[in-house]
Structure 1
Amino acid sequence: MKVVVIGGTGLIGSKVVSKLNALGHQAVAAAPNTGVNTLTGEGLAKALGGAEVVVDLANSPTFDEAAITFFKTAGENVAKAEKAAGVGHHVALSVVGTEKMGVSPYFLAKQAQEELIRGSGIPFTIVHATQFMEFLRGIGQSAVVGDEIHLSHAYIQPMAAEDVADAVTSVALAEPANKIVEIGGPEKFHLDEIIGKVLAFDGDTRPVVTDPEARYFGLRLDDDSLIPSPGAKLGSTRFDWWLENVPPPSKK
């Protein structure tokens, strides 16, 4: 089966492409560096020719109001190309809590993306994932206030990128659910405490301050904002193992 993975050279996409190919499918990585641009439509028709499934893992390069233009434009271009190619299943990776975070420009953009998918007429599955463990360091860096790191005490249930890729691969090979399915990590932590553990492991001595007014990419969190619903499919990678065994990305 031919599966086109938009964003197929990124963190999750490259893993999904490898997993699909290892299972004997024809996985095509579609990204600007492979000649496919969803914003302009360049290369889409050629890439989607003969595809049965499209997995959309592309993300907006910004978290501000420009994100809605990205998701709407890219989504419309992809849907048009899918209809022309006769694609039978559109899989999109989104975020747990998207429907509850409407005050954030980024999550308003994600809501618009999901509405477009539901209204496209193409069978679909939207995967809502919790935050990736690989992004925990970035969350800490985004919360710097002077010489301190200010974070909410809300819960987070992070998921290893490898487990996200496994789940997305399984969804891509299944029948369209025509709904949202949720995935998450196997353990729940307080956001301030887990970031503190990562910083300590890295030898970063900056203090983590628990701040109920701290924003998470512009959003004030409730206790359950970042937690999947009961019944979500959970990954198997535990945080302590990940921290010890998955090296941080190299700094270029």
Structure 2
Amino acid sequence: MKVFIAGGRGQVGARVAEALAKRGVEVIVGSRANGQDPMTGDGLDAAMIGVDTIVNVLNIARFDDEAAVFFETTTRNLVRAGDGAGVGHHVLLSIVGVDAEDGPDNGYWRGKIAQEQVLRSSSTPATIIRTTQFHSWVPVLADQHTADGRVVAERSLIQPVDLDEVVELIERATLITEPADREIELAGPERYFFDDLLRGTLAAMDDRREIVTTACDGPIDLMVPRGEHLIGTRPYPVRGIPTA
């Protein structure tokens, strides 16, 4: 089996590449450094020769219109190159809640919606894996919500998941021999209020930033599964935080 991983040098992609290689899979780590640029399409056609599955774990840390352009453009280029080479399966890492009609209006969100729409419009089977926030990302969320030395956190729900369990799910989806269109959601075993999670996490890090709780500006349950989903088994590493 031969797999092309878009975003194969990132936090998720590098782990997926390592896991698949251990299973005897021929892995192509797609990156500009390796001669493939999903944004322009350069190098993709040659890289896709003989590829069975494309794993798309590309990410961009911004929320403006450029994020929307990035996600849609890169996915279109990957699908185009894959179709030309006869690739038989796409696996996309997405986010829980992206299919909700009451989601936020920002470029990141619109871009993830566009990614899924591009795959659905393709004739190639696609597995869309939506997950909640990773355990390891929670301190970063605290930084993103910091203003004037205080962390401003909504009283919304969050159900973080262990990154290794995300990688394991992507690995299993990639190794499927008879792919079909499907959507899978994965969340961690514990649900928290966002402000409580940040407060407990920072306390465990001896980080004394004040947590300011605000009312939720939108659906309280947007970032947690609303329907059928898989539940991870690995709890959040900081214990003692009250669950919701």
Change (3 A) 1:242 1:110: farther
Q: So what's the TM-score if we normalise by structure 2?
A: 0.91
Match of 2:113 in 1: 111
How far, CA to CA, are the matches of 1:20 and 1:204 in structure 2?
A: 37
Match of 1:159 in 2: 161
**Amino acid corresponding to residue 170 of structure 1 in structure 2:** R
Match of 1:209 in 2: 212
Q: 1:145: how far off?
A: 2.5
How far, CA to CA, are the matches of 2:226 and 2:167 in structure 1?
A: 20
Match of 1:88 in 2: 88
Is the partner of 1:70 in helix, strand or coil? helix
How far, CA to CA, are the matches of 2:232 and 2:49 in structure 1?
A: 33
Aligned partners of 1:53 and 1:88 also within 8 Å: yes
Aligned partners of 1:7 and 1:56 also within 8 Å: yes
2:124 maps to 1:146: no
Change (3 A) 1:19 1:241: farther
Change (3 A) 1:176 1:240: same
How far, CA to CA, are the matches of 1:109 and 1:84 in structure 2?
A: 24
Q: 1:107: how far off?
A: 0.8
Per-residue CA deviation, residues 167-203 of structure 1 (Å, 9 max, x unaligned), is: 1111111243413211111111111111111111111
**Amino acid corresponding to residue 60 of structure 2 in structure 1:** S
Q: 1:232: how far off?
A: 1.1
Q: 1:102: how far off?
A: 4.8
Q: Matches of residues 9-158 of structure 1 in structure 2 within 5 Å? A: 9-100=9-100, 101-158=103-160
**Amino acid corresponding to residue 136 of structure 1 in structure 2:** V
How far, CA to CA, are the matches of 1:110 and 1:231 in structure 2?
A: 20
How far, CA to CA, are the matches of 2:10 and 2:144 in structure 1?
A: 21
Aligned partners of 2:204 and 2:238 also within 8 Å: no
2:190 maps to 1:232: no
Q: Matches of residues 190-201 of structure 1 in structure 2 within 5 Å? A: 190-201=193-204
Q: So what's the TM-score if we normalise by structure 1?
A: 0.89
Identity of paired residues, percent? 31
Q: 1:29: how far off?
A: 1.1
Unaligned runs of 5+ in 1: 214-219, 244-252
Q: 1:151: how far off?
A: 0.4
Match of 1:249 in 2: none
Length, aligned pairs only: 237
Is the partner of 1:140 in helix, strand or coil? helix
Match for 1:169 among 162, 171, 190?
171
Q: Which runs of 4+ in 1 moved over 6 A?
A: none
How far, CA to CA, are the matches of 2:218 and 2:124 in structure 1?
A: 33
Per-residue CA deviation, residues 62-96 of structure 1 (Å, 9 max, x unaligned), is: 21111121122212211111011100000110000
How far, CA to CA, are the matches of 1:224 and 1:120 in structure 2?
A: 31
Match for 2:219 among 199, 217, 222?
222
**Amino acid corresponding to residue 25 of structure 2 in structure 1:** H
How far, CA to CA, are the matches of 1:46 and 1:203 in structure 2?
A: 50
Q: 1:221: how far off?
A: 4.0
